[in-house]
Every structure is written in structure tokens, then in C-alpha cells.
């Protein structure tokens, strides 16, 4: 997968809540692994809220990104 495959991918937290879509991905250029992703939180049409997730908070990446944490959408 390259970065374009991740952009706008849906992100779901540990409780099964869709929290938003991937905005940016930071890769380690030497190893090709993900350092972190920035998620555009789904808080409404005019919201600019974002959340940064580190690689160790990601459980699985397939058609969506599953997290092993709960994201507080009320922040």
C-alpha cells in the first residue's frame, strides 16, 4: 500500500464507532512502516477537529483501519 491508499480510509475505534477518515500518514522512509496517522474526526460538516494516532494504537488495516483504543469524540 502507498499513502494514497490510506487517504480518506475510514477509521473505527475499539468500541466499533466510526470516528472519521485518514487525513495524512507519516511513514518511516527507511523501513516503510507507519509512524502515525492523522484522522479528520467526523464531528460535523464544519468541524476541523483532528486526532493523531500512533502505529501501536492500530489493531488492523484492511478495508478500514481498526484501532485498539477508544477515541473520545467529545473533546
pLDDT surpasses 90 at 45: no
Give the separation between CA 49 and CA 52, rounded to whole angstroms.
Answer: 10
CB burial class (10 A; 0-12, 13-18, 19+) of residue 21? middle
Residues 2-26: pLDDT tens digits?
A: 677 888 999 999 999 999 999 999 9
Domains of the chain with bracketed CATH: 3-67 (2.30.30.240)
Of 12, 40, 42, the closest CA to residue 24 belongs to 40
Q: Please compute the mean of the pLDDT values over residues 40-60 and round it to a whole number.
A: 90
The model carries a pTM of 0.86
CB < 8 Å & 24+ apart, contacts of 37-41: 37/6, 37/11, 37/65, 39/11, 39/71, 41/71, 41/73
Amino acid at each position: 500500500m502507498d499513502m494514497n491508499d490510506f487517504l480518506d480510509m475510514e477509521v473505527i475505534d475499539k468500541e466499533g464507532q466510526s470516528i472519521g477518515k485518514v487525513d495524512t500518514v507519516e511513514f518511516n522512509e527507511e523501513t516503510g512502516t507507519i509512524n502515525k496517522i492523522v484522522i479528520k474526526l467526523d464531528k460535523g460538516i464544519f468541524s476541523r477537529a483532528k486526532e493523531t494516532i500512533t502505529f501501536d494504537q492500530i489493531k488492523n488495516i484492511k478495508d478500514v483501519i481498526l484501532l485498539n483504543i477508544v477515541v473520545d469524540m467529545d473533546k
